[in-house]
Amino acid sequence: MINSDYLNNLNNAQKEAVLYLDGPLLIVAGAGSGKTKVLTSRIAHIIKEKRAFPNQILSVTFTNKAAKEMQTRVSKMLGSTATSLSWLGTFHSICAKILRKHATAANLNSNFTIIDTDDQIRLIKNICKSENIDIKQLSPRFILAIIDRWKNKGYYPYEVVVNNKDIYEKTILPLYKIYQQKLIDLNSCDFGDLILHTVKILENYPDIRQIYTTNFKYILVDEYQDTNFIQSKWLNLLSEKTKNLCCVGDDDQSIYSWRGAEIKNFLEFDQVYENTKVIRLEQNYRSTQNILSVASNLISNNQNRVGKTLTTTMEEGDLVKLNCFKNGKDEAIGISDEIEKKLKKKYSFNEMAILVRAIFQTREFEERFLKIGMPYRILGGTKFYERAEIKDCVAYLRLIHQEKDDLAFERIVNNPKRSIGDTTLKIVHEFSKENNLSLESAANKMLEQNLIKPKTKIGLSFFLNALNKWRNDLKIKKISHIKLLQIVLDESGYSAMLKNKKDLDNENRLENIKELLSAMKEFENLESFLEHVSLATSIDQEWDGEKINMMTMHAAKGLEFDVVFLPGWEEGLFPHQKSIEEKGQNGLEEERRLAYVGITRAKKKAIISFSMNRFYQGDWIDSMASRFIDELPEKYIEKNSFFEEEVDDDKDFDFNQDFEIDEGTRSPGWIRYQKRIK
């Protein structure tokens, strides 16, 4: 039963965006303007008006988190009808779904593995070794970045035209050819392949393309400003019949060019799609007017933008603070003082965030917070599924699922230690290459032919026999994927390896594995779980506990906090010198968009700061205030009195102010921390 109230509480622009159903639509959605509400209401309206069945609507997001949020909201509107929204997900998950149905058209089997970055690096290392490429001179990560760039442009190896002046491209192209063939041989894809293969299938097989262009009556895309060429091409192919493509985004928040995002997809949308309707969502529901005025004034200095003016019905609020400090240490002290003041005004740690341009900037704050016992978290650190013990567990499951997964075989054949060293692996590799076999099949053949040393033979035989037993447990005995992992951990000796050495790290690893087993309960089978792991993104993190949030401004996109601190607004750091050097005016405009994103994360208070000196790469350097500070409107800015030394009385004594006593430097925060840890 559809809740008919979905049009209520929409402003005029939002309602217009929901009701417009014929032809291409570009929704220019300013920060905090309710774009998710518009997208979900639009889906409900399409279904209510019987313009399409739920399975005829393609709704695309960039992250699993965004897809989940959209699914939840739509469910509230549509009830049980929402369960049939089978084409709501990320670019990669939807392409994986299409590709599995038509895998043979890409020379793959439908049970192909989606490999992660670590597996990609190991594969490239192996290729470099066989091709006598010195990875100290040409790193695997750099090679993969170039390959990914080609894939984002829609190029298979044979389609790449190298820049003859670029020695790196000339070297990397042959590696790309080998790498891509290896992926096919392994029945594997990397993330870039999911979209690239799908686009090539749609281009080269009109009958397959017709299936989807006929089925998808409406296509909705979130964060369109972050799309790259191949994603835009995919959307163009799928929408060619109905032209009912609705893209939502904000060109002023386009900050991912380094990932391949092309802002021109957004800026030229109405040129690519004839008769495009453009609707601007300019009412902000997040920030105070003063914060919006500062952000709008700053971004107005960009030339390449659609343009909009954000307004709010909220109060004017406090002026945006601009603080100057002597050095980075003083900046950290000043911000920790400010945090303490906000705590006294009943703000919580979770409601505050420090947003930096570069991750190294967190060091000063970490040191300060550790000293005074202030809890903090850094977002954008190691993801759950990237932790070594988790990757080991997943590798065991991947190899059980697919015998040809050489990358998983390499990771766990000697983990725990089974006397199977690098020399043995090298021999197995050579045998597999000569006989065109997977590593597992090669190892079995070598054991049959007695080509393995006696000491190694014991460990390798145990491992291969165990694999066969576990596959039998899964396929014949039909045990659950959860029970399977428990058996694997026990019978492989992995659990014992962690338990036998009692230290904090191993205890944490065991707790992580317990959490993994809990997570697996959400999936029906092993295949769906493995696909979820492959498609998990860095942004999809769960938070718990009261802590100050620290992250880069890039990582903060899509988030909001009551209080936002924006330190390090200095030339060379922000805007970043490298960005300007490499991209010129385009780089400067993207940096300004990043500043806009940072400011508009704040709901109630924004505090910008810079220091006159900063300790950087082992040296003190003099700093100049960022050019962006000159672009902040004086009318909405409150500056600190840096050159007017003020001494607070006891009542106003800053909580974190250091002072000297006989035993060394102490502070009230330091004393609090000592009490806490006793």
Number of Cα atoms under 13 Å in the Cβ half of residue 340 = 20
Provide the b/e sequence for 599-613 (b: ≥16 CB within 10 Å): bbbbbbbbbbbbbbb
CA distance 385 to 287: 34
Residue in 116, 119, 193, 222 annotated catalytic: 222
Catalytic residue among 116, 190, 193, 223: 223
Which of 35, 286, 371, 398 is the catalytic position? 35
Catalytic option among 14, 253, 289, 600: 253
- Residue 222 catalytic? yes
Non-local (6+) Cβ contacts of 518 within 8 A are none
Q: What does residue 655 show for φ and ψ, rounded to 5 degrees?
A: -55, -35
Answer yes or no: are the C-beta atoms of 216 and 246 closer than 8 Å.
no
Using alpha carbons, list the distances in angstroms from residue 657 to 642, 643, 667, 668, 676.
Answer: 16, 18, 6, 8, 19
Active-site residue, selected from the candidate residues 15, 36, 203, 486: 36
Is there a contact between 85 and 114 (Cβ–Cβ < 8 Å)? Answer: no
Name the burial class of residue 397, with classes exposed (0-12), middle (13-18) and buried (19+) by CB atoms within 10 angstroms of its CB. buried
Determine whether 223 is an active site residue. Answer: yes
**Contact criterion met (CB below 8 Å) for 108 and 183:** no
Please indicate whether residue 36 is annotated as part of the active site. Answer: yes
Sequence-ordered strand ranges (E) for 525-627: 548-552, 561-566, 602-616, 619-622
Radius of gyration of the chain from its Cα atoms, rounded to whole angstroms: 28
Q: Where would I find the beta strands (DSSP E) of 518-642?
A: 548-552, 561-566, 602-616, 619-622, 637-639
Single out the residue of 544, 571, 541 nearest to residue 558, CA to CA. Answer: 541
CA torsion angle for 295, 297, 300, 305 (degrees, to 10)?
Answer: 30
Would you call 627 a catalytic residue per the annotation? no
Distance (Å, whole) CA 57 – CA 35: 18
Instruction: Let me know if 601 is a catalytic residue.
Output: yes
Task: Let me know if 423 is a catalytic residue.
Answer: no
Catalytic residue among 601, 603, 604, 614: 601
- Determine contact, residues 416/506, Cβ cutoff 8 Å: no
Instruction: Give the containing element (helix H, strand E) for 114.
Output: strand 113-114
Active site residues: 35-36, 222-223, 253, 601
